Amino acid sequence: MSINRVILLGNVGKDPEVRSTTTGDRVATFSVATSERWTDKNTGEKRESTEWHTVVVFNQALIKVIDQHLTKGSRVAIEGKMKTRKWQHSDGTDRYTTEVVIGRFDGSLSLEGKPSGATRSEDAYGSTKTRESYSGSAGGGSSDRLDDEIPF
């Protein structure tokens, strides 16, 4: 048995592109940046490495959310499959592109945190709470967290 599952938590690099296929279905494409930070042991310098991932979404319900709420800088959690496709460049050479694909019926996308300009008292994306609202993991105050007291 084998598993092809990719999970990313990062920031959208530019506004998503949503286009229609010849059959009328819509496809969304955007890039997500994931970064790791460390301190160089030899120099003591802070270092950072960023990877860029192309995400392609075929799930029509998620495309509506992407179209309405996803913009450059949005923090997202993505779960999908890694796929590599072959195509031919105009000079005749074969090229390969590796993408994270959220299919029609598998994978997920979760908006994380508040969009820029939202205040703590506002819901991040309309009436749907985000993980930040519940966990306070992005520095939210105690009013943003669930009550930790056990009722019994």
For 25-80, the pLDDT digits (tens) are: 999 999 999 999 999 999 999 999 999 999 999 999 999 999 999 999 999 999 99
Looking at residue 113, what is its pLDDT?
A: 74
Domains of the chain and CATH, by start: 6-112 (2.40.50.140)
Would the pLDDT of 130 be above 80?
A: no
Would the pLDDT of 112 be above 50?
A: yes
Closest C-alpha among 88, 91, 23, 85 to residue 54: 85
Give me the mean pLDDT over the 126-150 stretch.
Answer: 37
Looking at residue 60, what is its pLDDT?
A: 94
State the pLDDT confidence band at 108, using cuts at 50, 70 and 90.
Answer: very high
Percentage of the chain beyond pLDDT 70 is: 74
pTM for this model (two decimals): 0.71
Whole-number Cα distances in Å, 91 to 10, 86, 88: 34, 14, 8
Looking at residue 14, what is its pLDDT?
A: 93
